[in-house]
Amino acid sequence: MALESSIFHLLLFSILLPSGALLTLHTLQAHSESIRPARILQENNSSRASNSSSNSSYVPAMFIFGDSSADCGTGIINRWLQERADHLPYGRDFDTHRPTGRFCNGRIPVDYLAQRLGLPFVPPWLPRFRGMQDVLHGMNYASAGAGILSFNALDRGNMISFMQQVGLFTETFQQIQTRRGARDAIDMISKSLFYISIGSNDFIHYLLQNSSGVQSRYWPWEFNQLLVRNIRNELRSFYDTHARRMVVMGVAPLGCAPYYLSHYRSWNGGCVEAINNMIFEFNTAMRFMVYELGQELPDANITFCDAFEGFMDIVKNYQSYGFQTVTDACCGFGKYGGWFMCRADITCRNASNHIWWDRFHPTDRVNAILADNVWSGMHSKMCYPVYLQEMVS
């Protein structure tokens, strides 16, 4: 518990702004007021932007949990969030060409996967319930800034941690049961896809030296074990609510992100090995845990997709993938574009030849490649034991 309260402090004031307080809270609030309209537009259009011919889909619905790698607009309800994606140039290459809360110039992997599955874009969870129609294709609870460890931030009214997202899903499940009856609801949930993409913020947090006790309290391998145990418990609780199909994403190589390249003073653009080694070890432990859980729950299909592997393949063979810029963020400032968060006036023209969109997040093109890999291993093998396509066919 002591750990959790120190993490809570950190979450609000450090994780979300890893480089320290560049913006005052004051500017921040002014900023968040000015973005409201964009969100309304997004609510109107993005959830129906893709194909909504729902009866030809592979699964009835998709339920999404995680951090900014999967957030499509839930995170911005947290007004304390400092890195925000509810302003241009975020979303400039998205279907609606508007900011939606996605940390990308365009689509994130779950958008591509929804399309593969024959679903419309999955809508973000929002405090205002939006009617059964939206829930029936699933719900995206992922929130930027969320971590695997529970940050106990509920007293601010911010639904962010993984555990809180699972709690929100339980509420949704009850609503579906009320509306459709228990048997139908269970049938729907057991055929639906659960997609979990979380962990980066726990590492960002761990790597912030001296700003919390976590690094001095846990060796890297102990910290990894703690994270993996926590995810395992949540996967188990999804299973207990009748989830049977789950895709668990690994953490991407943050050590190659422009933020870390600039802060660790990479002189030749080489990735920060200490960070990547820790994440590599985490992913290895996750893969093993998912395998074991699959043995334990034979009537479920759970697969682990190692975003680290898929991502490193792109970094190493960037030319064959058609990228020109490996290290520098398209939207950013300073060495590698890693100093400040993304703003419209510091953005490259063509994000498609960049791997990194901002200092922590990849571009739409990278997301498309990763989604292809989750679906069928099209570009490189990164899912164990099955691809999504095999799971749902």
Ligand X SMILES: *[C@@H]1O[C@H](CO)[C@@H](O)[C@H](O)[C@H]1NC(C)=O
Catalytic residues: 68, 358, 361
CA angle 369, 374, 375 (to 5 degrees): 95
Starting at the earlier edge strand, list the strands of the sheet with 383-384: 138-140, 62-66, 193-197, 245-249, 301-305, 383-384
User: Which of the stretches 68-76, 121-129, 338-346, 350-358 binds ligand X when contact is defined by CB under 6 A?
Assistant: 350-358
Residue 79 · residue 29 · CB < 8 Å: yes
Window 25-64: residues binding ligand X (CB under 6 A): 40-41, 44-45, 51, 53, 55-56
Question: Cα separation of 149 and 147, whole Å?
Answer: 5
241 closest CA partner among 175, 288, 287: 175
* Between 213 and 334, CB nearer to ligand X: 213
Window 210-249: residues binding ligand X (CB under 6 A): 210, 244-245
Residue 76 · residue 106 · CB < 8 Å: no
Tell me the closest approach of the beta carbon of residue 282 to ligand X, in angstroms: 22
Question: Cα separation of 174 and 95, whole Å?
Answer: 32
Count CB-CB contacts under 10 A for residue 258: 29
Candidate list 4, 187, 281, 390; residue touching ligand X; CB under 6 A: 390
Tell me the closest approach of the beta carbon of residue 128 to ligand X, in angstroms: 10
What is the phi/psi pair of residue 342, to 5°? -70, 135
Our finding on whether 172 is near ligand X (CB under 6 A) is no
Our finding on whether 352 is near ligand X (CB under 6 A) is yes
* Between 45 and 225, CB nearer to ligand X: 45
* Between 143 and 363, CB nearer to ligand X: 363
Window 300-319: residues binding ligand X (CB under 6 A): 300-301
Our finding on whether 361 is near ligand X (CB under 6 A) is no
Our finding on whether 299 is near ligand X (CB under 6 A) is yes
The site that binds ligand X (CB under 6 A) totals a number of residues, namely 22
* Between 75 and 120, CB nearer to ligand X: 120
For 290-318, give one letter per residue: b (16+ CB within 10 A) or e: beebbeeeeebbbbbbbbbbbbbbbbeeb
Our finding on whether 127 is near ligand X (CB under 6 A) is no
Our finding on whether 391 is near ligand X (CB under 6 A) is yes
* Between 47 and 164, CB nearer to ligand X: 47
Residue 268 · residue 346 · CB < 8 Å: no
* Amino acid identity, position 205: H
Q: Which residues are at the interface with ligand X (CB under 6 A)?
A: 40-41, 44-45, 51, 53, 55-56, 209-210, 244-245, 299-301, 322, 350, 352-353, 386, 390-391
